[in-house]
Copies of this chain bind each other. A is one copy, B any other.
Amino acid sequence: MTPDDLAGFFARRAELDPEAYVELDFTFECAGDPRHAAAALCSEQSTTQWRRVGADEDFRPRFAARVLELDATPRPSGFSYDIPGAPRGAVHACRATIAHPHGNFGPRFPTLVSAVLGEGTFFAPGIPIIRLEDIRFPAAFLARFEGPRFGIAGIRERLRAHGRPVFIGVIKPNIGLPPREFAEIGEQGLLGGLDIAKDDELLTDTPWSPLAERAALMGAAARRATEATGAPKMYMANVTDEVSRLAAQHDVAVAGGAGCLLVNALPVGLSGIRLLRAHATVPLFGHFPFIASFSRVPGYGVHSRVFTRLQRLAGVDAVIMPGFGNRMMMAEQEVLDCIRACLEPMGPIRPCLPVPGGSDWAGTLEGVHRRVGTTDFGFIPGRGVFGHPAGPAAGAASLRQAWDAIVRGIPLAEQATRHEELRRAIEHFGRRPTT
């Protein structure tokens, strides 16, 4: 690029209509002049050829992505990773904020993802290593999406659960357990104190556990538990399936008595979530398979909060995400960033419930609550409820006892002297380090 070519891909914020652009925060490592690399990142994402051969025209004023901010630090040690065909030259580690005109792709997930995470981002000349750290949308863009139908307030209202975490249990075993036995232990969890007993994300509609049968049994179990406890209880059915079947699976699950639905967000696709959202009459919980494949390695891929934001935009009412503690191999800050992406203002898009999970039990509740810093979260043990030595009802009770201790400011050990379920939970699960 000539200096003039380059200038067409830079702008000051004040020069641009903020409603016309999404903002993208990237970190990257480049070879050669960082200004050239950042301009290439913009041109490849938008209008690489901004004029026809021989024509006197320039599409950049309206269609070019623009560098708003760029910081570059030399990396004398070279690139962090050994990438085939990586360019040569002096290496810099950079941070850049780019304004990308959303009129180029419109308010649709597949075109958005193609524009901001496609060839333009990952094949920009000079940039072998890049990570999309965050994304911000203007109100004009957000207004074209529906977002969560229920959100946190809607989930709380349906559960009559206010001022405390939502208690969710992943029914275990799941793969291989027939529906009747599955519903028996699920019901025990609900009777013991869970708000929601849920399918594992790997448990879908199979011949050995048909969704219709499982939903009918668990729906009946939830109704009985609601009756017995006087508190609304829900079964969360996993409707993850081909997008052509999502609406039908929703209908089967809800007809059986599911009070909310689980859907594996990336495997189904954001666009599939949006389609399900348009049809759904109950809250949707998004789950995280596949996201780690592009978010874990430092400095490369996509920060997981980007897909938290996109799930919220697509309309999930809750985002189940890898939570705190070494088990989930997420930096604490990344978990907090994802939680904030659920809760912080997002124009007209409702907040959704963050559900950070990973090997939780009664003893990890205090740490999760303290880190989240609010009661607006879902607490989601599996084995911590269904692996309790005295059974799922005791496992669920131990969670509520732990929460009671937190509310009343009582040390967990002291609370355990008065509650057998909590005492046995500590005895059984407490040998593992808590988060």
Contact = CB atoms under 8 A, between A and B. Distances in A.
Interface of A: 45-54, 59, 62-63, 81-87, 103-106, 108-111, 113-115, 117-120, 122-123, 125, 128, 172-177, 181, 185, 201-202, 204-208, 240-244, 264, 266-269, 271-272, 274-275, 278, 288-290, 292-294, 296-298, 300-302, 322, 325-332, 334, 358, 383, 386-389, 391
The 10 tightest CB contacts between A and B, nearest first, are A59-B176, A269-B269, A118-B289, A85-B326, A122-B292, A110-B267, A49-B173, A63-B176, A84-B331, A293-B294
Contacts of A52: 173, 177, 181, 185
Contact of A269 (B46, B47, B48, B272): B272
A271 B244 CA distance: 8
Contact of A49 (B62, B123, B172, B358): B172
Contacts of A106: 204-206
A56 to B, nearest CB: 13
A296 B122 contact: yes
B85 A278 contact: no
Contact of A202 (B118, B125, B208, B278): B118
B114 A240 contact: yes
A113 B244 contact: no
Contacts of A290: 113-114, 117-118
Nearest to A48: B172
B275 A329 contact: no
**Candidate in A205, A297, A326 with the most chain B CB atoms within 10 angstroms:** A297
A13 B54 CA distance: 64
A48 B51 CA distance: 58
A264 B123 contact: no
Nearest to A174: B49
A242 B302 CA distance: 21
Given A123-B328, A391-B53, A177 B271 contact: no
A354 B327 CA distance: 40
Contacts of A358: 123
Contacts of A288: 119
Copies of this chain:
2
A243 B243 contact: yes
B113 A289 contact: yes
Contacts of A269: 110, 243, 267-269, 271-272
Contact of A268 (B85, B118, B271, B293): B271
A298 B119 contact: no
Contact of A53 (B50, B125, B389): B389
A326 B387 CA distance: 52
A196 to B, nearest CB: 19
Contacts of A383: 49
B82 A387 contact: no
Contacts of A278: 244
12 contacts: A51-B173, A52-B177, A53-B388, A81-B297, A104-B175, A106-B206, A110-B243, A115-B202, A118-B267, A128-B296, A242-B274, A297-B297
Contacts of A298: 81-83
B241 A387 contact: no
B176 A84 contact: no
Contact of A387 (B53, B114, B122, B267): B53
A327 B327 CA distance: 38
A391 B128 CA distance: 32
A125 B275 contact: no
Given A268-B269, A297-B300, A328 B85 contact: yes
A242 B175 contact: no
Contacts of A173: 47-52, 59
B301 A294 contact: yes
A214 to B, nearest CB: 14
B206 A268 contact: no
Contacts of A332: 84
A176 B300 CA distance: 30
Contacts of A244: 271, 274-275, 278
Given A52-B177, A173-B49, A325 B114 contact: no
